[in-house]
Amino acid sequence: MPFNLDSLIKAVDVLKRSVISAEQNMEDLNSDLQETIKAGVIQNFEVAYEQCWKFMQRWVRENYAPEEANLPRTRKELIRVAARSGLISDPVPWFEFGAARNLTVHTYDLEQAAEAYHTAKRFLPYAEDFVRRLQERND
């Protein structure tokens, strides 16, 4: 049974639109507005990342035998399985995205926010690729 991918597609699209908007308008804004825009991009990254790994988990549970589907006990294991299954090309960047997501959720300072903002921009093509691959295998 195919998954309804609307929430995943929307989350990645909102991230894309926020990154594009930030890149096009950032230099014209004062530092307070720049910080606010970056916080929005970071929030959209968090949502898109969460949607991605949850859909990876759903796909594995649906497409693997029951005794194998529950084997990925950690997010890193799940990401490795997704890579072996062809849902993503390389697990290593996804580990970095997960670490960045955990950092943004649990702590906040300007230096970490700047790093998370750049991570969100790096994440976007990986998320778009995952959506494309999942759409191709969504049967």
pLDDT in tens, 71-90: 667 899 999 999 999 999 99
Residue 88 covered by a domain = yes
- At residue 134, the pLDDT reads 96
Dihedral Cα 62, 89, 42, 98, nearest 10 deg: 70
Euclidean distance between CA atoms 126 and 95, whole angstroms: 12
User: Would you report the helix, strand and coil content of the chain in percent, each value rounded to 5?
Assistant: 80, 0, 20
pTM: 0.90
pLDDT in tens, 87-123: 999 999 999 999 888 777 666 677 787 888 999 999 9
Residues 68-72 have a mean pLDDT of 66
Residue given tokens 């991230």 in the structure block: 15
CATH number of the domain where residue 34 is located: 1.20.120.330
Residue 91 covered by a domain = yes
Residue 91, domain extent: 6-136
Dihedral Cα 112, 77, 89, 66, nearest 10 deg: -140
Residue 83 covered by a domain = yes
- At residue 29, the pLDDT reads 84
Euclidean distance between CA atoms 60 and 47, whole angstroms: 20
- Whether 2 shows a pLDDT value over 80: the answer reads yes
Cα four-point dihedral sign 18, 106, 49, 11: negative
- At residue 106, the pLDDT reads 61
Residue 1 covered by a domain = no
Residue 25 covered by a domain = yes
- At residue 119, the pLDDT reads 94
Structural domains of the chain, count: 1
pLDDT in tens, 3-49: 999 999 999 999 999 999 999 988 888 888 988 898 899 999 999 99
